[in-house]
Structure 1
Amino acid sequence: MSDALIDIEPGLAGLAPAVGEQVRGLREALHERILGTVRTAMRAQGRSLTGGQGQGLTLGVQTAVDAFVDALADPGRDLTATRAVFHALGRTEYREGHRVDALRTVLTLGARDIWAFLVAHSPGTAPPDLYVIAGALFGYADALAGAAAEGFLDEQRDAAQDWATTRRRLITLLVQPEPPGDAALHAAADAARWALPRTVAVLSVDGADAEHLARTIGGGAIATVVDDAVRVVLPDPGAPGRLDRARQALAGRRAALGPTVELARARLSYRISRRALALRQTGRLPVDAPVTADAHLLTLLLAWEPGLADHLADAWLAPLAGLRPAGRRALAETLHSWLRRQGQVVAVAEELHTHPQTVRYRMRQLRTAFGAALDDPDSRLTLQLALRHHLATGRPDGDNPPAR
């Protein structure tokens, strides 16, 4: 908004001082008239002038009328204070949940009513002067509406920043190493206006559009960026349609869904989803959107501590270390299938697309290499895990085709 009425309507420079003084004399009548118009407009919006915002608007309208009639007599008068009043009213409009254009509607109706009143009560005013007053009046109303809109948007922006901060604080509490105390958790949830659910699941998503993603998923989801990825806390994932909506919102995105857990164990779902996303990015998990961690728990278990599964494979598959890569892989595949198929040679042969006699030959080699470990339940389980990791990662002969 301009700092003076003459900036809005330069024609005021030629307005006779007597015209401005004449309008000043109508001040009280204008107050009464404009308040009636505003009251009617507010009622049409289902609002009242009796509450705090109504009283503020009443004062603002009176201030606007006073500033306008004084500025007609003194067009260079500073209007900064009036602008500040309507900027503040715009902020209040947002806080009370009204539309950004609600005040503009009131101001436009008020300006029309003032214009009609001035025309009716200024019989001696020349038409050119009335045109100048009209330009000043409607430009002034538009400028005040602009100030109110700026205030509305400023409050909206500040609220969004506050909202993001409170929700980030809440999510940080939920996924921190130590579970938060009940008092701290309830206080953070109240500040974020989030009803604490019984269960949650955490989504990890590539990107930084946390607020947009939470709104798209809906269902009370909250989100923030942690460690360069969006973390979405999905309340009560078992609610009808909730996971389906989340999957639809994540179509085409790199994302991982952690398991559904009780609220106090939200960190576990967060850690699993974070690890699943990392494995998806390296190709260890499929490109589903999102990949569901519960469907890949064994892969996650083996990859949980970097280097541990490598050490497991190196230690337990050491009897194969002296073989050529192709032969080593053929024996590893055979043993892995044999363990999974509980020693059924024909089933192993079908899986590997080879002859049963070849399987028997390889198993004799493997019996020589691993001995009694093939008959011990714990050793068989450990071998199966070691082989699964070895074959999935291609260590160290992943580029060599398997021998048949």
Structure 2
Amino acid sequence: MLEPRVAELPAEVGERLRAERPALRDRVLGTMRAAMSGQGRSLTGGQGRGLTLGVETAVEAFVRAVAEPAHDPDGTREVFVELGRTEFREGHSVDALRSILTLGGRAIWAYLVERDLPPAVLYVLASALFGFIDALAGAAAEGYLDEQRRHARDWDTTRRRLITLLVQPDPPGAAAILAAADAARWRLPGSVAVVSVEGTDGEHLARRAGSGTIATVIDDATRLILPEPATPGRVAHLAAALAGQRAALGPAVALDQARLSYRLSRRALQLQRAGVLPSAALLPCDEHLVTLIHAWEPGLAGRLAGRWLAPLEALGAAEREVLAATLLAWLRAQGQVLAAAAALPAHPQTVRYRMRKIRRLFGAALDDPDARLALQLALTHRAAGTLAHGPGSLDDGRRGAATG
């Protein structure tokens, strides 16, 4: 019972309303039709039929509640829960339905006022009516939100499937990608960039990024698919949206190369966490490719350094470090002693003295371009120190999208 005082109304009030149900229903339907027309809708179609049923059910339930105060209106509530679900499925807002219900309630009230009922009766009916309308609006909102939550779960599933297809080791054909994109209501772009972001609030990050960005959580981080990253201002907007969060921006690639962008951003985020790469809000992988190559497979750069820098191992720790730094400066200066001395810094004669020692250790390797490249890579790795112990690896093996 919505209003306990309804039970105290004279029996003839309920009987009178029962007799006038058809006219009351027509009055409310007319009001509903006008309101829906104002919203660009009509009472035809699935939603229109649902609202017509809702009006008939609501009028019947209200009249019965007045005539039979002990009647349980739960069936009426379920009709409006379903109306709320339908409202969401058809792309309308719950406020639009609420406004129509409010107008329907006012139409019933105007009809009651026109019946010349005693004020005391009208006061009770007003309390009962608007409490009833509030209950129906609450039921509709419940249905709307339930449907919204269900679709949110569905969206997460479909978008996760799409992203997984794009970044897995063996991407499927174009038809499968198109079908997955259609299911996720995502327009296929010509190019994408994959962004790896610390944290697992993918849906929230995608909304902040905007521009058709979709997201899911793979492993322990959020992976964003940013469409058309070369669009002016798009990356800047993304950087602002991710301010305060550690993130790595993979390179812009064609859609069928999304896995490469994913792998680079994934590894870069790992290296950010390890302190090897800067913890910028949005680190561009293309600006750190040398570091990524060094740290791509843990142990590999260490193996390279161990092999090519073996001649230094017989020296004491202090001399080993001095000669390693001198050789790296000399290689970076392309054999120019003065430039190497300025970079260290050290006196040119000191550099020449050290290089004589280094030549005795490395011999002809210093004159071989390939050997010099290997030495510079090994020394760069050694100078970085922590690269050999970066977390995880990104091989081209068949591990699946979640880890490969």
1:389 matches 2:389: no
Q: Cα offset for 1:394?
A: 6.2
1:315 alignment counterpart = 307
C-alpha distance in 2, partners of 1:127/1:395?
A: 85
Q: Offset of 1:224 from its aligned partner?
A: 0.5
Residue number among 9, 21, 25 corresponding to 2:19 in the alignment: 25
SS in 2 for 1:215: helix
2:94 is paired with a residue whose SS is coil
CA distance in 2, matches of 1:134, 1:143: 14
1:69 aligns with 2:63: yes
Name the TM-score, length of structure 1 as normaliser.
0.93
Q: TM-score, normalised by structure 2?
A: 0.93
Counterpart code for 2:113: V
2:73 aligned partner: 79
The reply on whether 1:94 has 2:88 as its aligned counterpart is yes
SS at match of 1:202: strand
Query: How far does residue 232 in structure 1 lie from its aligned partner after superposition?
Result: 0.5
Distance in 2, Cα, partners of 1:179 & 1:120: 70
Determine the C-alpha separation between the residues in 2 that align with 1:327 and 1:246. 48
Amino acid at match of 1:371: G
State the alpha-carbon separation in 2 of the partners of residues 377 and 355 from structure 1. Answer: 26
Which residue in the other structure is 2:49 paired with? 55
Q: Supply the distance in 2 between the matched residues of 1:207 and 1:75 (Cα, whole angstroms).
A: 54
Deviation per residue, 1:366-397 (Å, 9 max, x gap): 1011111111111111111000000011699x
Q: Which residue of 1 aligns with 2:197?
A: 205
- Is it true that 1:149 corresponds to 2:141 in the alignment? yes
The letter for the 1-side match of 2:71 is R
Determine whether 1:113 maps to 2:107: yes
The residue identity in structure 2 corresponding to 1:111 is: G
The AA in structure 1 aligned to 2:330 is W
CA distance in 1, matches of 2:229, 2:350: 49
Q: 1:299 aligns with which of 284, 291, 297?
A: 291
Q: In the alignment, what sits opposite 1:40?
A: 34
1:265 alignment partner in structure 2? 257
- Say yes or no: does 1:14 pair with 2:8: yes
Runs of 4+ in structure 1 displaced over 6 angstroms? none
- Number of aligned pairs? 388
Q: Which amino acid aligns with 1:190?
A: D
SS of the counterpart of 1:223? strand
- SS of the equivalent of 1:101 reads helix
**Deviation larger for 226-235 or 241-250:** 241-250
Q: Which runs of 5+ in 1 are unaligned?
A: 1-5, 397-404
Bigger drift between 101-110 and 126-135 goes to: 126-135
Counterpart check, 1:229 vs 2:218: no
Asked if 1 retains the 8 angstrom alpha-carbon contact of 2:191 and 2:227, the reply is yes
Highest relative contact order (Cα 8 Å, sep 6+), 1 or 2? 2
SS of alignment partner, residue 201 of structure 1: strand
Shift in Å at residue 310 of structure 1? Answer: 1.0
Q: Distance in 2 between matches of 1:156 and 1:369?
A: 71
Cα distance change, pair 356–147 in 1 and its aligned pair in 2 (3 A): same
Tell me the amino acid that sits aligned with residue 128 of structure 1: A
Paired residue type of 1:241: G
State the identity %. 64
Residues 319-355 of structure 1 show CA distances to partners (whole Å, capped at 9, x for unaligned) of 1112222221111111111111111000000000110
Tell me the distance in 2 between the aligned counterparts of 1:42 and 1:117. 20
Alpha-carbon displacement from aligned partner over 1:32-56 (angstroms, at most 9, x marks no partner):
1101111121122222112321121
2:165 corresponds, among 146, 154, 173, to: 173
How far the C-alpha of 1:164 sits from its partner, in A, is 1.0
Amino acid at match of 2:13: V
Q: For the residues of structure 2 that align with 1:142 and 1:44, how far apart are their CA atoms?
A: 22
Give the Cα–Cα distance (whole angstroms) in 2 for the partners of residues 141 and 189 of structure 1: 41
- Name which of 189, 209, 212 aligns with 1:217: 209
* Aligned residue identity for 2:227: P
State the secondary structure of the residue aligned to 1:204. strand
Q: In structure 2, what is the Cα distance between the partners aligned to 1:255 and 1:35?
A: 55
| Superposed counterparts of 1:318-333, under 5 Å | 318-333=310-325
Q: 1:370 aligns with which of 362, 369, 383?
A: 362
User: What's the counterpart of residue 284 of structure 1?
Assistant: 276
Distance 1:244 1:330 in 2: 43
Q: Tell me the SS of whatever aligns to 2:63.
A: helix
2: CA distance, partners of 1:167 / 1:311: 41
Secondary structure of the residue aligned to 1:193 is: coil
Q: Distance in 1 between matches of 2:377 and 2:221?
A: 30
* Cα 1:170–1:145 shift into 2, 3 Å: same
Cα distance, 1:17 vs. partner?
A: 2.1
User: Which residue matches 1:399?
Assistant: none
What amino acid is the match of 2:33?
A: R
Residues 198 and 247, structure 2, Cα contact 8 Å, conserved in 1: yes
Distance in 1, matches of 2:269 and 2:317, equals 31
Give the drift of 1:318. 0.8
